[in-house]
Amino acid sequence: MAELDTYRSKRRPGRTPEPTGSRARKKSSDSGDRFVVQEHHARALHWDFRLERNGVLASWAVPKGLPMDPHTNRLAKRTEDHPLDYIDFEGEIPSGEYGAGAVKVWDSGRYDLEKWTDDEVMFVLHGRRVEGRYVLIRTKDDQWLMHRMDPAPEGTVAMPELVRPMLATAGRLPTDDDAWAFEFKWDGVRAVAYVDGGRLRLLSRNDRDVTVSYPELRGLGEALGSRQAVLDGEIVAFDDDNRPNFGVLQERMHVVDAARARRLSQRVPVAYLLFDVLFLDGQTTTTLPYRRRRALLESLELKGDHWQTPAWFNGPGTEVARAAQENGLEGVVAKRLESLYQPGRRSTDWIKAKHLRTQEVVLVGWTPGQGRRQGRPGALLLAVPGDHGGLRYAGKVGTGFTDEMLDDLGARLAPLDCAEPAVPGPLPRPQVAGARWVRPELVGEVSFSQWTRDRRLRQPVWRGLRPDKEPGEVVIES
């Protein structure tokens, strides 16, 4: 069969389990023709869409899978015709062979043909997972687009472009354990993951796209395959004792160069710890109670080299807190079992209780360093929200810096120079002597022992910048 010459030329019999295409099978005598969608985990995950036609399977590779609503068009690439035997093929194409990777049948069934020309194929699918009218259209650049002509399946909604994370309130652990779930608090940065067609997009808490910064997390998209999902979690890096460490993570947080991010992922790998699901397969889940969202999340069985779903506990909360402290973790987050997910809101339905006292701060100035810190910042001048709006001075931090942190801070602070402080006086002269004031645009985090009577941070230690947060988001934690 000349139609299969291209197919055969790309495959070596005996080295791949795929059908050889040496003989054609008769078409079914049923009135409808057959179709198959195969999920193909090759070098790039895609879905192979095949229609039975004239004794072969006319084939297209669809990188992000079949569209499920008429507002989303999907790119499709015409590939070589495949033999009819391929319609139920599943298996592992060995490394080194054309199309190497796992193939499994995602959906199959019958289709009704409405139109077939060189530039347009229109049909109605009757599958186990997909029902509806579709069209494949060839574009001017010889690519194809796949479009769903019917409305989205009843009850499904489009995947949201943005869901802002729900925030916890600092406080003490609740005592009515039966009404709460308890999770460990991870010392990292929040990120919301959007997965569509096996592709991952990561947004920080302040809506910045940080996907390029964490290349080792992209496999999470492939792990979900064709499933659409919006997931909430924390990105962490580990120290030599295998404990989440915010200081270690600092090296990964500001990287926007893809090549540098790939190098760092080998030396300072991160993990994405998942604790919520906000959208799944055409359904918004934020209106479900916590207990049901957690059950959905766990049903996804997401566990890989760089992502996992840590356990939650039903109490007692004091025992969970004790276990967190014994394992060197930051604390515990208590979540009301019946609570809904409130995007972008800080709620008392989530309470964070930390062992280590930390505070987000706004940088309002710095004092020049001396000795080893000559030419770099020696200390940072800090502010927190004031009682009646604006900012108030909160003290000075001069410890907890690495040389790399100081170099980075110097570069980031230099363009922000301004003549006057962004905090009202009077200011303590010994602390601000020789100060260089900056516009209040950078957020950082410190640990500290307590608040002093004049409401300044006692014994603050620098933990790092928080590029995932804006100055207006800073709140008094304790």
Other beta carbons less than 10 A from residue 457's beta carbon: 22
- Residues contacting residue 266 through CB under 8 Å, at least 6 positions apart: none
| CA–CA separation, 51 and 37 (whole Å) | 9
Fold of 358-473: OB fold (Dihydrolipoamide Acetyltransferase, E2P) (2.40.50)
Q: Which of 40, 57, 59 is nearest to 49 (CA)?
A: 59
The answer to whether the beta carbons of residues 437 and 363 sit under 8 Å apart is no
What pLDDT does residue 131 have? Answer: 95
In 297-431, beta strands by DSSP E: 307-308, 331-336, 346-354, 358-368, 377-385, 391-397
Q: What is the DSSP letter of 55?
A: T
What pLDDT does residue 31 have? Answer: 43
| CA–CA separation, 72 and 21 (whole Å) | 34
| CA–CA separation, 21 and 34 (whole Å) | 17
- Residues contacting residue 409 through CB under 8 Å, at least 6 positions apart: 366, 376, 377, 380, 401, 465
The answer to whether the beta carbons of residues 264 and 251 sit under 8 Å apart is yes
Rounded to a whole number, what is the distance in angstroms from the first to the last CA of the chain? 76
What pLDDT does residue 13 have? Answer: 87
| H helix or E strand, kind and range, residue 326 | helix 317-326
CATH of 167-353, one of 3.40.50.450, 3.30.9.100, 3.30.470.30, 3.30.420.10: 3.30.470.30
What pLDDT does residue 1 have? Answer: 56
Please confirm, yes or no, whether 335 is among the known catalytic residues.
no
Q: What is the mean pLDDT of each run of 10 residues along the chain (478 residues)?
A: 84 90 53 86 95 94 94 94 94 94 96 96 96 95 93 91 95 93 95 96 95 97 94 96 91 92 96 98 97 97 96 93 91 97 96 90 94 89 92 95 91 95 90 93 93 92 92 88
Token code pair at residue 268:
């300072």
> Taking the domains of the chain in order of start, what are their residue ranges?
2-148, 167-353, 358-473
Taking the alpha carbons of 257, 263, 264, 266 in that order, is the dihedral positive or negative? Answer: positive
The answer to whether the beta carbons of residues 192 and 239 sit under 8 Å apart is no
The answer to whether the beta carbons of residues 49 and 125 sit under 8 Å apart is no
| H helix or E strand, kind and range, residue 299 | helix 290-299
* Interaxial angle between packed helices 246-253 and 258-267, expressed in degrees from 0 to 180 and rounded to the nearest 10: 160
**Where do we find the tokens 């139609």?**
3
Token code pair at residue 425:
């006086």
Alpha-helix residue ranges (DSSP H) falling in 113-245: 219-224
Given the residues 10, 26, 77, 185, the one annotated as active site: 185
Q: What is the DSSP letter of 24?
A: P
Cis before 316? omega within 30 = yes
The answer to whether the beta carbons of residues 12 and 5 sit under 8 Å apart is no
Q: What is the DSSP letter of 345?
A: -
What are the Cα distances from residue 348, in Å, to 33, 69, 180, 329? 57, 37, 12, 22
Radius of gyration over every alpha carbon of the chain, rounded to an integer in angstroms: 28
The answer to whether the beta carbons of residues 128 and 109 sit under 8 Å apart is yes
